[in-house]
Amino acid sequence: MNDQLHYLAARVTAGRMTRRAFFGRAAALGITAAAANFALSSAAIAAGPQKGGTIRMGIQGGSTSDSLDPALATNTVALALIRLWGEPLLELAPFGGLEPKLATSYEASADAKTWTFKIRTDATFSNGKSVTAEDVLATMERHSGEDTKSGALGVMRGIESMSVDGDNFIVELKQPNADLPYLMTDYHLIIQPNGGKDAPDAAIGTGPYVLKSTDMGVRFVAEKNPDYWGDLGHADTVELIVINDNTARVAALQSGQVDMIDRVPPQTANLVDRAPNVTVHSTKGPGHYVFIAHCNTAPFDNNDLRMALKYGIDRQELVDKVLAGYGSIGNDTPINDSYPLYTALPQREYDPDKAAFHFKKADYDGEILLRTSENSFPGAPDAAALFQQSLAKAGIDLTIKREPNDGYWSEVWNAKPFCTSYWGGRSTQDQMFSTAYLSTADWNDTRFDDPKFDQMLIAARAELDEAKRKEIYADMGLILNETGGLICPMFNDFLGATSDRVAGWVDGQRGYDLMNMYGPSKMWVAA
């Protein structure tokens, strides 16, 4: 039967059978829709990429207040756009390691304190200018200045100096850091002409596409970059359509209005996957749905109140009801077993009695206000309601305010003292901690400030013995677990979906949803 299925799939790829006829024959053979979709995808990959056509992506998270400046990127729409028009020095490779982008190679001194990146000489920006090591230097300078608002500021703090020698970009660190090449994968660090100092939001980069039409929070159109140095970008045109409503996004995929979507609602993922023309892709990773409290703002500046909230959340209930099982429970730290130097900590369980104890010790009788929006993560308002119910069993009242989707990432996240949020995770512990928990990080959205934690982070960078670094990271995780403003009940699986109109999906891509948001560039139109 497998041979017959593969034969039929090959006929579709060769254009000798329609997809509708294929799925009808597969059903007659007793083959599930999932197995048929897999066979069709495998046949398409074997046949090789097809050139031309338009790929349309329905994506969640955009708003009218977004910016095209990669330094200010805060959501998945911004990330998806960046993947089209720009590139960093290096990128995470599928199944582990790094792959070259604008840096063809890199090497470190024996103490991992000096790093040299060889810059590609065959790449040009979409304005026709050749990429130089000076552009790389200017880019890193823009993301490093004390006045920058870049989301990468935290990972740039450990740099002592930067320089250029011919085609080489050289970084001198204050302390050794074996993870520096991984930090260069940060999606904010997109190489721009003169570092973007002249026009940071011009979307001029070296990616496989050139942005042609922009309607913030609504729709974007990109066309193939004819001078792209690499092998990405099979479609002539890519359209990104912002569809923040979950039901509408899924409906757009099922009706053929778009070819792929991110953030399939977990509660309906199984149902969506049963459609004959749709495949849901589930990928485990470091992404986490969270509640964040500002440690420096009353009443959340009281650690007993924070502990009351941490003990007062039923993590398993949220995984079961919000994620529908597509994920795992969290433990008030941003690190899970997707990180190579992960150490499990004692799991904090839901305990209304301990929550009540800490709440009484906090001696607070005012309002606890949680702000939320579906734009923060799928099912966030439902998660907030479940949190409210579990806290009530401890005698703690939680007030929920539902904020508008538009502007949530600019007006609520990293601005209001208690809200729902989402992190996609990072490639290493150092990058995650440096981006969001280093006291000086611009994206320290819990306002966490612990000098000991900062010192340990710097010490871990300088420690080349992985066993010792792992121990330091475990201790840092425990500090966050016990004193941080992060309430992390769950790690989500990435749930993206594609229609059978496109092919080329490959499992194993680390990072974010839809093949680390490279789906529109790595897949192609098959029908």
Q: Kindly state whether residue 396 falls inside one of the protein's structural domains.
A: yes
Mean pLDDT of 182-211: 97
Paired with 190 in beta bridges are: none
Q: In what order do the strands lie in the sheet with 260-261?
A: 209-215, 219-224, 237-242, 54-59, 260-261, 494-499, 278-283
- Tokens representing 72 are 């200010």
Q: Kindly state whether residue 73 falls inside one of the protein's structural domains.
A: no
| Same domain flag for 167 and 299 | no
Count CB neighbours of 521 within 10 A: 25
The answer, yes or no, to whether residue 506 has pLDDT greater than 90, is no
| Same domain flag for 318 and 415 | yes
> Could you tell me if 400 and 420 are in contact, meaning their C-beta atoms sit under 8 angstroms apart?
no
Say how many CA atoms lie within 13 Å of 473 toward its Cβ. Answer: 28
Instruction: Give the list of residues 6+ apart from residue 305 with CB closer than 8 angstroms, or none.
Output: 299, 358, 359, 362, 364, 368
Q: Is 131 helix (H, G, I), strand (E, B) or coil?
A: coil
| Same domain flag for 483 and 515 | no
How confident is residue 2, by pLDDT bands cut at 50, 70 and 90?
low
Of all residues in the chain, the percent with pLDDT exceeding 70 is 93
| Same domain flag for 326 and 425 | yes
Instruction: Give the pLDDT score at 15.
Output: 47
- Domain final residue pick, 140, 168, 196: 196
How confident is residue 10, by pLDDT bands cut at 50, 70 and 90?
low
Count CB neighbours of 29 within 10 A: 13
Mean pLDDT of 142-156: 88
Q: Mean of the per-residue pLDDT values for the chain?
A: 92
Instruction: Give the list of residues 6+ apart from residue 434 with CB closer than 8 angstroms, or none.
Output: 154, 155, 157, 158, 183, 441, 457
| Same domain flag for 362 and 453 | yes
CA dihedral 462→467→473→474, nearest 10 degrees, is -160
- Tokens representing 408 are 């949530």
Q: Kindly state whether residue 401 falls inside one of the protein's structural domains.
A: yes
Dist. CA 310–CA 79, nearest whole Å: 31
Dist. CA 322–CA 495, nearest whole Å: 13
> Could you tell me if 480 and 333 are in contact, meaning their C-beta atoms sit under 8 angstroms apart?
yes
> Could you tell me if 306 and 350 are in contact, meaning their C-beta atoms sit under 8 angstroms apart?
no
Q: Give the CATH number of the domain where residue 501 resides.
A: 3.40.190.10
The answer, yes or no, to whether residue 39 has pLDDT greater than 80, is no
| Same domain flag for 185 and 233 | no
Helix (H) or strand (E) holding 55: strand 54-59
Instruction: Give the pLDDT score at 29.
Output: 72
Dist. CA 257–CA 280, nearest whole Å: 17
Number of domains in the chain: 4
Tell me which residue has tokens 């604008």.
102
Dist. CA 253–CA 275, nearest whole Å: 10
Dist. CA 206–CA 227, nearest whole Å: 9
Instruction: Give the pLDDT score at 147.
Output: 85
| Same domain flag for 273 and 418 | no
| Same domain flag for 401 and 512 | no
How confident is residue 41, by pLDDT bands cut at 50, 70 and 90?
low
The answer, yes or no, to whether residue 317 has pLDDT greater than 60, is yes
Reference 405, options 387, 423, 378, 442; nearest CA is 378
Q: Kindly state whether residue 159 falls inside one of the protein's structural domains.
A: yes
| Same domain flag for 384 and 504 | no
The answer, yes or no, to whether residue 181 has pLDDT greater than 90, is yes
The answer, yes or no, to whether residue 119 has pLDDT greater than 50, is yes
| Same domain flag for 274 and 373 | no
Helix (H) or strand (E) holding 168: strand 168-173
| Same domain flag for 479 and 436 | yes
How confident is residue 276, by pLDDT bands cut at 50, 70 and 90?
confident
How confident is residue 511, by pLDDT bands cut at 50, 70 and 90?
confident
- Tokens representing 179 are 């993870």
* Segments forming the whole domain that contains residue 146: 87-196
Tell me which residue has tokens 């002409």.
193
Instruction: Give the pLDDT score at 40.
Output: 65
Higher pLDDT, 239 or 8: 239
